[in-house]
């Protein structure tokens, strides 16, 4: 029923090599595992030759089956088109390299079902741990990890049913920082724009922190707008409703250039969508009408002169692996949260 792939020829096994070298499998195994000191030079030479001749490559499946570990960790990413994810990944990779792991990347592409399948894949392949940038649905999906399953560390967001280490941005602090910056610059009509919350804790937290921060500034008002980036129609509709709100706010103000209207994007993708829309509608001068600030500092933000809160993405990834490493080594302490601070990068989009 399930025939082997016919594309590649059969590979040599350890037995083939042993026969070719005229010795036993054990010696080959020893050679492979670097126990060279225990091998006579001539045997060693014969083994080397045999391996070369047969182009032998040990089957990791079999090795992994035998010894318990494989030094593999999985990195499950919700959305690779978000530069944030790639930046975190770089921290993950650096830490893996330092600690001797190989990171396997799995991309859920915003599909809950993919998330489930990859998590399943990773656990059944017995990777030693996973770093999860989750879409969020707990239950069924995340059962194989956490308490009973393989060690897991969450990145950027937590998941309801799951108690594990998590590392991400200090959303509370970052949002307060950004809000204060806007108000101090004289923007008092604020719109917080965010993708649908779904199960993504960081989005909720940022939105909540935004309104909470605003309470300290009675002169300012804030509204939340939910932007569905994936659906072009709905996106256009929401944006045009937003346009109307902004137009009204600006028109109501005697000095249009100082109407004090600002958009606060909850993350990079939202900021990009807003900037593209405004640019399309008002041309390059859109920045004179409305201020824009974003959490996340993608590369284009500097080019476009957008003020941002830069996340310590590299550190987030690096710390996540460190945590995971400790868990793999048997660390039993209760789940930890590591909240790293964001940094305000002031640019033209919030100057007056």
Partner DNA sequence: CTGTTAGCGCATTCAT
Partner DNA sequence: ATGAATGCGCTAACAG
Chain contacts with its own copies (rule: CB under 8 A): 2-9, 11, 55, 57-62, 64-65, 67-69, 80-81, 83, 86, 89-90, 93, 102-107, 109, 117-118, 120-121, 123-126, 128-129, 143-144, 148-151, 272, 275-276, 279, 284, 298-300, 302-305, 327-331
Among 7, 52, 66, 232, binds DNA (CB under 7 A): 66
Which stretch in 17-25, 99-107, 219-227, 247-255 sits in contact with DNA by CB under 7 A? Answer: 17-25
Which of residues 147 and 160 has its CB atom nearest to its own copies in the complex?
147
Rounded to the nearest 5°, which phi and psi values hold at 103?
-90, 130
d(CA 270, CA 212): 21
Q: Which does residue 107 touch among its own copies, DNA, none (CB within 5 to 8 A, set by kind)?
A: its own copies
Closest contact distance (angstroms) between CB of 324 and its own copies is 9
* Angle, vertex CA 335, rays to CA 331 and CA 339, nearest 5: 115
- Give strand pairing partners of 129: 73
Q: Which does residue 98 touch among DNA, its own copies, none (CB within 5 to 8 A, set by kind)?
A: none
Which of residues 255 and 285 has its CB atom nearest to its own copies in the complex?
285
Which of residues 35 and 198 has its CB atom nearest to DNA in the complex?
35
Q: Which does residue 299 touch among DNA, its own copies, none (CB within 5 to 8 A, set by kind)?
A: its own copies
d(CA 22, CA 137): 56
How many other C-beta atoms lie within 10 A of the C-beta of residue 270? 24
Q: Which does residue 55 touch among DNA, its own copies, none (CB within 5 to 8 A, set by kind)?
A: its own copies
Q: Which does residue 24 touch among DNA, its own copies, none (CB within 5 to 8 A, set by kind)?
A: DNA
| Positions of E strands within the chain | 72-77, 102-107, 129-132, 152-155, 165-169, 189-194, 221-226, 261-265, 291-295, 307-310, 337-340, 343-345
Among 45, 49, 53, 62, binds DNA (CB under 7 A): 62
Which of residues 123 and 138 has its CB atom nearest to DNA in the complex?
123
Q: Which does residue 336 touch among DNA, its own copies, none (CB within 5 to 8 A, set by kind)?
A: none
What is the number of residues in the chain? Answer: 352
Closest contact distance (angstroms) between CB of 117 and DNA is 17
Which stretch in 23-31, 162-170, 290-298, 344-352 sits in contact with DNA by CB under 7 A? Answer: 23-31
Calculate the CA 67 to chain-centre distance: 31
d(CA 122, CA 130): 8
Q: Which does residue 136 touch among its own copies, DNA, none (CB within 5 to 8 A, set by kind)?
A: none
Residues 78, 85 contacting (CB under 8 angstroms): yes
d(CA 283, CA 276): 10
d(CA 52, CA 161): 51
CA R_g for the chain: 26
Which of residues 9 and 330 has its CB atom nearest to DNA in the complex?
9
Instruction: Identify the burial level of 338 via C-beta atoms within 10 angstroms of its C-beta, where 0-12 means exposed, 13-18 middle and 19 or more buried.
Output: middle
Which of residues 28 and 214 has its CB atom nearest to its own copies in the complex?
28
* Angle, vertex CA 201, rays to CA 95 and CA 222, nearest 5: 120
Which of residues 93 and 156 has its CB atom nearest to its own copies in the complex?
93
Among 23, 70, 138, 279, binds DNA (CB under 7 A): 23
Query: Applying CB under 7 A, which residues contact DNA?
Result: 1-2, 10-11, 13-15, 22-30, 32-33, 37-40, 42-44, 58-59, 62-63, 65-67
């Amino acid at each position: 029923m399930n025939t082997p792939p016919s594309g590649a020829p059969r590979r040599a096994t350890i037995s083939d090599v042993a026969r070719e070298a005229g010795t036993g499998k054990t010696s080959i195994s020893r050679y492979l595992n670097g126990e060279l000191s225990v091998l006579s030079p001539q045997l060693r030479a014969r083994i080397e030759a045999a391996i070369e001749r047969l182009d032998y490559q040990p089957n990791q499946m079999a090795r992994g089956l035998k010894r318990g570990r494989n030094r593999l960790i999985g990195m499950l990413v919700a959305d690779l088109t978000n530069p944030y994810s790639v930046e975190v990944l770089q921290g993950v990779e650096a830490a893996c390299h330092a600690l001797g792991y190989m990171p396997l990347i799995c991309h859920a592409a915003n599909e809950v079902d993919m998330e489930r399948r990859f998590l399943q894949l990773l656990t059944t392949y017995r990777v030693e741990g996973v770093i999860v940038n989750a879409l969020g649905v707990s239950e069924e999906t995340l059962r194989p990890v956490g308490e009973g399953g393989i060690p897991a560390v969450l990145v950027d967001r937590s998941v309801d049913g799951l108690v594990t280490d998590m590392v991400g941005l200090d959303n509370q602090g970052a949002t307060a920082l950004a809000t204060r910056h806007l108000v101090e610059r004289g923007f008092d009509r604020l719109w917080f724009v965010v993708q649908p919350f779904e199960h993504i804790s960081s989005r909720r937290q940022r939105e909540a922190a935004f309104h909470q921060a605003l309470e300290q500034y009675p002169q300012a008002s804030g509204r939340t707008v939910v932007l569905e980036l994936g659906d072009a129609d709905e996106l256009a509709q929401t944006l045009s409703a937003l346009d109307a709100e902004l137009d009204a706010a600006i028109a109501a103000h005697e000095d249009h250039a100082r109407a004090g209207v600002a958009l606060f994007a909850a993350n990079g993708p939202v900021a990009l969508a807003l900037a593209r829309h405004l640019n399309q509608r008002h041309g390059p001068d859109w920045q004179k009408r409305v201020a824009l600030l974003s959490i996340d500092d993608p590369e284009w933000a500097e080019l476009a002169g957008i003020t941002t809160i830069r996340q310590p993405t590299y550190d987030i990834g690096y710390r996540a692996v460190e945590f995971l490493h400790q868990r793999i080594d048997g660390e039993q302490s209760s789940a930890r949260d590591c909240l790293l601070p964001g940094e305000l990068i002031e640019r033209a989009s919030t100057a007056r």
